[in-house]
Amino acid sequence: MIEGWDYLFIGLAALAAGVINALAGGGTLISFPVLIAIGVPSVASNITNTVALLPGYLGGTFAQWSDIKSQMKRLWLILPASLVGGLLGGILLVFTGEKVFRQIVPYLILLASLLLAVQDPVRAWLVKRATEKGHQQVSPFWSILPIGLASVYGGYFGAGLSVIVLAALGLTTDESLTKLNALKQAVSFSVNIAAAVFFLFSGYVVWNVVLVMAICALIGGWLGGKLAGAIKPSTLRWLVVSIGFIVGIIYLIRG
């Protein structure tokens, strides 16, 4: 049973997740383990976390709306894949069951930590690719399959999704990093909203926890925006990566 101090812990975790998502990404690696630690079952923790952090993705989408608008034709092409993928990932999570999901949680956390660790090299590769001359134009239709597969992962777990989406878009889209980031934000939001809408009717959402987390995550996102010039995203990212690897290894040892 969740008690008063538990709400304080999840509120602080959601606040930190909001700040981290605004600055570097990977906030799920903070908030998800805390939900498990206070006694929320792993499937319910993952689902509750997805629903609670959704407002942060909405805020990020609005923040980059000017760049997203310039990519509306391409976005409409990949939007169905991201929505369907997010929904399929959510359905897969619910039907996985508590026992199986609890067994694969350590591997999901380690995978998400690894994805977050390679975010800077992925961005560097995208910048280098954008500056190369004469590389062949890629048809935007090639984005559909990799975005769809990434979206299934996003609906199932979600941490590290932005890195996968950014890499998939970079391979199949000839655009600047700024526009790729905007597309990535829109795709991530659509994946999470598709999964969250399904989760609303799953019976797994812990609504009192969602209310606390959503408010704190919004505040954290606002604080993250204010701290954008004061904290290096790479420093924060490596802190989250380190925490993620430690948590993943602890879960592996505990079984």
Instruction: Give the other-Cβ count within 10 Å of 59's Cβ.
Output: 18
Evaluate whether 188 touches 89 at the Cβ level (below 8 Å): no
The structure tokens 């290096």 sit at 232
Report the pLDDT value the prediction gives residue 1, as an integer from 0 to 100.
65
Does position 156 have pLDDT exceeding 80, yes or no?
yes
Round to whole Å and give the CA distance between 132 and 42. Answer: 45
Q: What is the pTM of this model?
A: 0.84
State both tokens at 75: 């976005």
Q: How confident is the model at residue 71 (pLDDT cuts 50, 70, 90)?
A: confident
Round to whole Å and give the CA distance between 63 and 158. Answer: 21
Report the pLDDT value the prediction gives residue 211, as an integer from 0 to 100.
93
What DSSP line would sit under the chain, residue for residue? ---HHHHHHHHHHHHHHHHHHHHTS-THHHHHHHHHHTT--HHHHHHHHHHHHHHHHHHHHHHTHHHHHTTHHHHHHHHHHHHHHHHHHHHHHHHH-HHHHHHHHHHHHHHHHHHHHTHHHHHHHHHHHHH-SSPPPPPGGGGHHHHHHHHHHHHHT-TTHHHHHHHHHHHH----HHHHHHHHHHHHHHHHHHHHHHHTTTS---HHHHHHHHHHHHHHHHHHHHTTTTS-HHHHHHHHHHHHHHHHHHHHHH-
Instruction: Give the other-Cβ count within 10 Å of 41's Cβ.
Output: 16
Does position 139 have pLDDT exceeding 70, yes or no?
no
Interval 116-130: pLDDT, tens: 888 888 877 777 766
Query: What value does the CA radius of gyration of the chain take, rounded to a whole number of Å?
Result: 17
Start-to-end CA span in the chain (Å): 23
Report the pLDDT value the prediction gives residue 40, as an integer from 0 to 100.
92
Report the pLDDT value the prediction gives residue 3, as an integer from 0 to 100.
75
Lowest-confidence pick of 92-101, 176-185, 233-242: 176-185
pLDDT, greater one: 59 or 90: 90
pLDDT, greater one: 78 or 139: 78
Interval 1-10: pLDDT, tens: 677 888 999 9
Evaluate whether 191 touches 151 at the Cβ level (below 8 Å): yes
**183-195 average pLDDT score:** 88
State both tokens at 211: 């209310």
Interval 196-255: pLDDT, tens: 999 999 999 999 999 999 999 888 877 876 776 677 777 878 888 898 899 889 888 886
